[in-house]
Structure 1
Amino acid sequence: MSTIATTNLLEVDELTVHYGKFQALKGVSVTLAPGETLGLVGESGSGKSTLGRAVLGLAEVSSGSIRYLGREISRLDRAGRRALSREIQVVFQDPYTSLNAMLSVGDILVEPLLVQGTNGAKARERVQELLDQVRLPSDAATRLPREFSGGQRQRIAIARALAINPQLIVCDEPVSALDLSTQARVIDLFIEIQERTGVAYLFISHDLAVVRAISHRVAVMSGGKIVEQGPADQVTSAPKDDYTRRLLMAAPVPDPIAQAERRRARLAQAGKVPA
């Protein structure tokens, strides 16, 4: 992918998050530049979604800091967090539950615009622009979310996140609920939008192949820690950490013989005897 700016948009430094006695994040540090995609990858329970939630203000920070354009945002009050929503938005995993089923697509997209003070006529004009951006027909504004496929619903969620021109979108497993062909089209859409708008993504996934397709840099998480991070090509083709190697070998490939070899190598590395 093309190079990005070097000034940091987001800086997470020695971040720790507890859920009761459980330590979900253990001194995590990452940075994100404007227009960049940082892929966070790891298995379930690795801490990647907790990091995303902390950036969004949905997980209470125990220690460490989160700075957005140099400003500490980890302990904002409700008013401060609402103001920051102009700059930081989110696309959640499940397009079936993240949209209000009772509202039309137009109402879903116009709501954040009206909250931020956009007048009615300009808001409706912006809705049409958003539908064009995510490649949905203009009459989609009058329809309900249930009338669309999973991939189309995720496009609606992306349009909602883009509505007020954020600088950063936290993408929490945004394609994991979609089939492979739909995943590829939505990933292409994310890349196209980034190239056009300059938005940055904190892209969270358990799938190393998905992260490789979209990210400039990759941070691999396990047990609440960053175990490896670096340029996407380097981390996904020549990983240095054993855990990253296992993730890479777990990624499916079209060739069944190669897939079987990967499985045998993964089991051998984990100390198990393959069948």
Structure 2
Amino acid sequence: MSEQLLSVDKLGVDFTRRRTTFTALEEITFSIAEGETVGLVGESGSGKTTIGRSILGLVPPTRGTLTFRGEDITHASRAKRRELSRDMQVVFQDPYTSLNPSLTIEGILAEPLRAQGIDRREAGRRVKELLDRVRLPSDAAGRLPREFSGGQRQRVAIARALALRPRLIVCDEPVSALDLTTQQRVLDLFIEIQRDTGCAYLFVSHDLSVIRHVSHRVIVLNRGKIVESGGVEKVTSDPDDPYTQRLMMSAPLPDPGAQRERREELEKLRVDSERAA
């Protein structure tokens, strides 16, 4: 069995706005093993992105504990977070805004390396390796982000996340801004990278079909709480919770006839749920 990498225990996050406290997360508990992908899925506002941001130290937890490689990082200092960045990285949703438009691709990829004290020559060598890893041409190093398509920019973002050879990458809706064909290629790239490097992913998405493609285990969130979790085949093919069933039924299908039947099933689920309530 793989060693446990990250443990989230009874995580809770509250936000206060205009003297009103809103609970974004409540009693969130799960773990990620070395080399494993755990998918977080739910609709907008379900709390899935807040979980990722809490793990990265961008949102302070109100309750609970976060443990990474056996160390409590719940309230890690800024200096400790800089140290953790070697082992914990992120790929954001939008490849158009997550890259500095004024830096060349080489500058973007070398920046985290230089910040960790890696000399210029070694950083240059690593940049070439990273471009090859995400299947971008070597001449991409001297170009600016605006010269690339959305899929290519996301490959640059993935390369930047890989620069420090992290143990865990938080993937926050990394393919939602891409067309379906490009999504498939980028998802396959994530899988290939994991197979070759052994890194773990926390993969956040609103799309159950995306989660099914990349995950080993799945956690379903609704209104800040876990409503279902388990192995990917069970949760994405035969879910128990009505909310997960609705998510599965709402996923788009290429066949119009099959899509129409799915909409009818989704409507039946909605009616049954309202009657049960």
Taking structure 1 as the reference length, the TM-score comes to 0.96
> Where do 1:3-22 residues align within 5 Å?
5-20=1-16, 21-22=21-22
Match status 1:187 vs 2:183: no
Q: Secondary structure of the residue that 1:9 maps to in structure 2? A: strand
CA distance in 1 between counterparts of 2:101 and 2:73 reads 32
Measured after TM superposition, the shift of residue 7 of structure 1 is 2.1
> Where do 1:108-187 residues align within 5 Å?
108-187=108-187
Measured after TM superposition, the shift of residue 14 of structure 1 is 0.3
Amino acid corresponding to residue 116 of structure 1 in structure 2: Q
Unaligned ranges ≥5, structure 1:
none
Measured after TM superposition, the shift of residue 194 of structure 1 is 0.3
Q: Secondary structure of the residue that 1:271 maps to in structure 2? A: helix
Q: Which position in structure 1 is the counterpart of 2:275?
A: none
Moved more, 27-36 or 261-270: 261-270
Amino acid corresponding to residue 65 of structure 1 in structure 2: T
**Aligned alpha-carbon RMSD (Å):** 0.8
The 4+ residue runs of structure 1 with deviation greater than 3 A are none
Q: Secondary structure of the residue that 1:64 maps to in structure 2? A: strand
CA distance in 1 between counterparts of 2:3 and 2:245 reads 30
Measured after TM superposition, the shift of residue 6 of structure 1 is 3.3
Matched residue pairs, number?
268
Deviations 1:190-216 (A, max 9, x none): 000000000000000000000000000
Measured after TM superposition, the shift of residue 132 of structure 1 is 0.1
Amino acid corresponding to residue 110 of structure 1 in structure 2: A
Q: Secondary structure of the residue that 2:204 maps to in structure 1? A: strand
Deviations 1:71-123 (A, max 9, x none): 11110111011000001000000000000000000000000000001111000
Amino acid corresponding to residue 160 of structure 1 in structure 2: R
Measured after TM superposition, the shift of residue 51 of structure 1 is 0.2
Amino acid corresponding to residue 34 of structure 1 in structure 2: E
CA distance in 2 between counterparts of 1:99 and 1:19 reads 28
Q: Secondary structure of the residue that 2:125 maps to in structure 1? A: helix
> Where do 1:29-40 residues align within 5 Å?
29-40=29-40
Measured after TM superposition, the shift of residue 34 of structure 1 is 0.3
Amino acid corresponding to residue 17 of structure 1 in structure 2: V
Amino acid corresponding to residue 221 of structure 1 in structure 2: L
Identity of aligned residues (%): 60
Measured after TM superposition, the shift of residue 254 of structure 1 is 1.5
Deviations 1:30-60 (A, max 9, x none): 1100000000000000000000000000011
Unaligned ranges ≥5, structure 2:
273-277
